[in-house]
């Protein structure tokens, strides 16, 4: 066999036998390191819960925080990047939880929105090294930073494909528009998990605060209570009107008749006013209107 033929055989065999390197499978998802402070933990959870509440009727997104994002074999081997404090990935199957976000297992999808909750020890990295990573490698469209202990620290950027990250301009309230989520990101002073602070919160495009689940439940309970109170007030008003009419026409109304009338709703009581005007006696009213 000629040297040329041997070389061709070796080359063909080498190409046929070559396989691309597989991504690491020994991934870890918990480095045992907590967030900077309890306030940072509360702030992260508030953002996650707020997005989940805003998108309550959707299942095409994933919101997470303080979890690993694996995006390359080298980074996975070195384990040199834990992940953002808060991030959202859109247009994916959000019907199941993840331990972490593994880009090559998620059809190459990176976060669409990232928020880093800064501290004095992380601020420089958050607005330099991590900002460069999210801009150049992740190509994350919206990036924000905020220090939960500094109400004036909110900054944000949107990605221009030609120019890179561009500063977001705050509105009159100091909020920044998150185009990917269709929400404003701004500050809110109040108590969450028994801690009073100026928190980072989401607002809808009308400026309404996106509630946390417990806030939404309280609001729903309040609305139900108000509605129930209104109905009770209307029922009592209709009952008193009917009793006054019966008293004027037929004299004192027996307690047992009044008790029976108390069980009727507003509509029924209003209908009985017509009956009270048509009958000739209280006995006739009772026999035609109340259960015997």
- Are 35 and 67 a contacting pair, CB within 8 Å? no
Per residue of the chain (292 residues), give pLDDT as tens.
Answer: 555 554 555 454 444 554 555 666 556 555 445 567 999 999 999 999 999 999 999 999 999 998 889 988 777 776 667 689 999 999 999 998 898 899 999 999 999 999 999 999 999 999 999 999 999 999 999 999 999 999 999 999 999 989 999 999 999 999 999 999 999 999 999 999 999 999 999 999 999 999 998 887 776 655 655 566 667 777 777 778 877 878 878 788 888 877 888 878 878 878 887 887 888 888 888 787 776 6
CATH number among 3.40.1450.10, 3.90.1200.10, 3.40.50.800, 3.90.1570.20, domain 3-211: 3.90.1570.20
Q: Which of 103, 109, 41 is nearest to 72 (CA)?
A: 103
Strand order of the β-sheet with 183-192 is 176-178, 183-192, 195-203
- Rounded distance, CA 74 to CA 277, Å? 89
Give the 3-state DSSP-derived string for the chain, with helices as H, strands as E and coil as C. CCHHHHHHHHHHHHHHHCCCCCCCCCCCCCCCCCCCCHHHHHHHHHHHHHHHHHCCCCCCEEEECCCCEECCHHHHHHCCCCCCCEEEEECCCCCCCCCCEEHHHCCCCCCCEEEEECCCCCHHHHCCHHHHHHHHHHCCCEEEEEECCEEEEEEEEEEECCCEEEECCCCCCCCEEECCCCEEEEEEEEEECCEEEEEEEEECCCCCECCCHHHHHHHHHHHHHHHHHHHHHHHHHHHHHHHHHHHHHHCCCCHHHHHHHHCCCHHHHHHHHHHHHHCCCHHHHHHHHCCC
Taking a C-beta distance cutoff of 8 angstroms, is the pair 141, 179 a contact? yes
What is the sign of the dihedral through the CA atoms of 188, 190, 196 and 201? Answer: negative
């Amino acid at each position: 066999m000629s040297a040329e033929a041997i070389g061709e055989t070796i080359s063909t065999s080498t190409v046929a036998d070559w396989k691309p390197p597989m991504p690491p499978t020994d991934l870890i998802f918990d480095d045992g390191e907590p967030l900077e402070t309890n306030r940072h933990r509360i702030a992260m959870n508030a953002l996650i819960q707020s997005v989940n509440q805003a998108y309550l009727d959707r299942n095409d997104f994933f919101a997470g925080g303080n979890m690993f994002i694996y995006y390359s074999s080298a980074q996975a081997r070195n384990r040199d990047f834990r992940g953002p404090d808060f991030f959202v990935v859109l247009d994916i199957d959000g019907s199941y939880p993840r331990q972490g976000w593994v880009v090559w297992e998620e059809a190459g999808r990176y976060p669409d929105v990232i928020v880093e909750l800064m501290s004095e020890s992380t601020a420089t990295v958050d607005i330099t090294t991590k900002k460069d990573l999210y801009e150049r490698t992740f190509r994350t469209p919206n990036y924000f930073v905020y220090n939960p202990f500094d109400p004036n620290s909110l900054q944000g950027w949107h990605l221009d494909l030609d120019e890179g990250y561009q500063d977001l301009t705050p509105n009159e309230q100091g909020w920044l528009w998150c185009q990917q989520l269709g929400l404003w990101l701004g500050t809110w002073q109040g108590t969450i998990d028994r801690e009073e602070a100026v928190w980072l919160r989401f607002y809808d495009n009308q400026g309404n605060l996106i509630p946390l689940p417990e806030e939404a439940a309280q609001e729903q309970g309040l609305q139900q209570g108000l509605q129930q109170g209104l109905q009770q007030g209307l029922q009592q008003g209709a009952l008193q009107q009917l009793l006054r009419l019966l008293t004027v026409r037929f004299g004192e109304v027996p307690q047992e008749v009044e008790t029976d009338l108390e069980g009727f709703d507003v509509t029924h009581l209003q209908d009985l006013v017509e009956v009270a005007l048509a009958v000739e006696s209280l006995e006739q009213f009772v026999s035609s209107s109340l259960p015997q």
